[in-house]
């Protein structure tokens, strides 16, 4: 997967800098072109010559070094297919989170439009410090990919999270981020976030969906070359730039948007948490506390089921949020809604489902055994879902067409 790609490895000044040497050597063995950029502090731990010897390329350390050229930060960023910073120190994370550009590495990050993976490594107390947590949360919102450090005995003697993950795992993570173009020529519609069903002008019924899973799917589909329509309810995260964004409020509005775009779509992924019920009447004025106390509810249409009933050649992926009998309920939903894939989500755990950055899911198919994915970042879950969807789409492509454009028999 990484063969032939150019990976820029940023090394910052922490004790784990020595492990970056193994990372570079593994990447070179994968057939990757590796360019190493070191911060000044990193050179206090490992000599640039080590990385130059392992990568076979000169190591860049200085924004102002004349030998690197005046546009080194732009050129290095443009040449890279992927960037990884390992280890990423607390100081580096703070700078990147603030958008500072006071050395070569921080500057080229701002110029970079490719996926960037940050691998924090530091003392456990530093890693748990609210300032570091805030910086990590901001970096995630800015679109950086983050790898959790391993827990264990650290160089300083502390036991806890903060260790740089094994280089082989970093390589695996990078391979998963490597932009594939297997959705080029396809139109993908993703729904995300929570619908809001108004009760009166100030109140509504909604749910805890953050939009993170749906937005990760939209971003990943875009990176894989698709035209992406994102129909979003309320969400806590910024929509990825480059998608066609349609914001909606209620389940009815989501239904109209989805059904109007559906004929243009090859793949529809329904990650949104749609309210199953809405108030039968929406009060014109704010309801006073001494008035009504009973809320009459009526059923909302099941958008996914409607799509399944007139599916045509489209690939349909649904989600199921469950707190019990996960697989049994998932299978029933897959059949009832005529889906190609159902992503069953255990929302009873704190590290999975609503609001969290990670997800623990099963992929359930119409045939064959379900697949359990390990607990992983929602962006990697998105990639795995799209791997399966792209496989199904490729199987539906008329044989021998060999085309990738809009006229190759897709459902346009």
Please say whether the beta carbons of 295 and 343 come within 8 A. Answer: no
Choose between 78 and 282: whose C-beta lies nearer to ligand CTP: 282
Q: Please give the structure tokens belonging to residue 286.
A: 């704010």
Q: Which residue stretch of 47-55, 116-124, 316-324, 399-407 sits at the interface with ligand CTP (rule: CB under 6 A)?
A: 316-324
Please say whether the beta carbons of 188 and 255 come within 8 A. Answer: no
401: Cα separation from own chain's centroid: 32
Please say whether the beta carbons of 275 and 295 come within 8 A. Answer: no
Q: Which residue stretch of 11-19, 132-140, 296-304, 366-374 sits at the interface with ligand CTP (rule: CB under 6 A)?
A: 296-304
3-state helix, strand, coil in the chain (%, to 5): 35, 25, 40
Question: Which member of 61, 112, 156, 178 is catalytic?
Answer: 156
Please say whether the beta carbons of 354 and 347 come within 8 A. Answer: yes
Choose between 217 and 272: whose C-beta lies nearer to ligand CTP: 272
Please tell me the distance from the alpha carbon of residue 355 to that of residue 309, in angstroms, as a whole number. Answer: 31
Kindly write down the DSSP assignment for every residue of 29-59, as one continuous string: HTT-EEEEEE-TTHHHHS-HHHHHHHHSSPP
Choose between 25 and 256: whose C-beta lies nearer to ligand CTP: 256
Please tell me the distance from the alpha carbon of residue 391 to that of residue 347, in angstroms, as a whole number. Answer: 27
Please tell me the distance from the alpha carbon of residue 105 to that of residue 261, in angstroms, as a whole number. Answer: 42
Question: Is 112 known to be catalytic?
Answer: no
Please tell me the distance from the alpha carbon of residue 216 to that of residue 378, in angstroms, as a whole number. Answer: 7
Q: Report the residue from 115, 225, 308, 318 that binds ligand CTP according to the rule CB under 6 A.
A: 318
251 part of the interface to ligand CTP, by CB under 6 A: yes
Q: Report the residue from 270, 331, 378, 410 that binds ligand CTP according to the rule CB under 6 A.
A: 270
**For residues 182-241, which are near ligand CTP according to CB under 6 A?**
none
x/- mask, ligand CTP, residues 322-361, rule CB under 6 A, reads -----------x----------------------------
Provide the 3-class DSSP secondary structure of residue 12.
coil
- Rounded to a whole number of angstroms, the minimum distance from the CB of residue 87 to ligand CTP is 39
393 part of the interface to ligand CTP, by CB under 6 A: no
Q: Which residue stretch of 146-154, 162-170, 302-310, 378-386 sits at the interface with ligand CTP (rule: CB under 6 A)?
A: 302-310
Q: Report the residue from 30, 252, 276, 388 that binds ligand CTP according to the rule CB under 6 A.
A: 276
Interface residues toward ligand CTP, by CB under 6 A: 251, 270, 272, 274, 276, 300, 302-304, 318-321, 333
Query: Which residues are the active-site residues?
Result: 156
């Amino acid at each position: 997967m990484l063969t032939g790609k150019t990976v820029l490895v940023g090394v910052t000044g922490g004790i784990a800098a020595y492990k970056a040497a193994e990372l570079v050597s593994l990447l070179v063995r994968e057939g990757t072109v590796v360019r190493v950029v070191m911060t000044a502090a990193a050179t206090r731990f490992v000599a640039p010559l080590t990385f130059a010897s392992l990568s076979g390329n000169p190591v860049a350390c200085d924004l102002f070094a004349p030998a690197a050229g005046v546009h080194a930060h732009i050129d290095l960023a443009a040449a890279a297919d992927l960037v990884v910073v390992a280890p990423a120190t607390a100081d580096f994370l703070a700078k990147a989170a603030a958008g500072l550009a006071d050395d070569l590495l921080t500057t080229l990050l701002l110029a970079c439009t490719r996926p960037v993976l940050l691998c924090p490594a530091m003392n456990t107390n530093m890693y748990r410090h609210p300032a570091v947590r805030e910086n990590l949360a901001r970096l995630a919102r800015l679109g950086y990919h983050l790898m959790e450090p391993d827990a264990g005995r650290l160089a300083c003697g502390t036991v806890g999270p903060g260790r740089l993950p094994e280089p082989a795992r970093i390589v695996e993570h990078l391979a998963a981020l490597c932009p594939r173009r297997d959705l080029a020529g396809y139109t993908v519609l993703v729904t995300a976030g929570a619908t809001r069903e108004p009760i009166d002008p100030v109140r509504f019924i909604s749910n805890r969906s953050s939009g993170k899973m749906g937005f990760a799917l939209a971003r990943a589909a875009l990176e894989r070359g698709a035209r992406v329509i994102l129909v979003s309810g309320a969400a806590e995260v910024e929509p990825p730039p480059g998608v066609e964004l349609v914001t909606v409020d209620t389940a009815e509005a989501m239904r109209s948007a989805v059904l109007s775009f559906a004929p243009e779509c090859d793949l529809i992924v329904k990650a949104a948490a749609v309210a199953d019920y809405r108030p039968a009447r929406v009060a014109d004025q704010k309801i006073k506390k001494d008035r009504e106390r009973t809320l009459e509810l009526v059923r909302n249409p099941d958008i996914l089921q409607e799509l399944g009933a007139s599916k045509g050649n489209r690939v349909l992926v649904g989600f199921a949020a469950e707190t019990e009998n996960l697989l049994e309920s998932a299978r029933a939903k897959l059949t009832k809604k005529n889906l190609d894939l159902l992503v069953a989500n255990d929302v009873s755990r704190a590290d999975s489902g609503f609001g969290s950055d990670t997800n623990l899911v099963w992929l359930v198919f119409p045939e064959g055994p379900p697949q359990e994915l390990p607990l992983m970042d929602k962006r990697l879950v998105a990639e795995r879902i799209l791997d399966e969807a792209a496989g199904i789409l490729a199987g539906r492509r008329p044989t021998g067409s060999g085309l990738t454009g809009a006229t190759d028999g897709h459902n346009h």
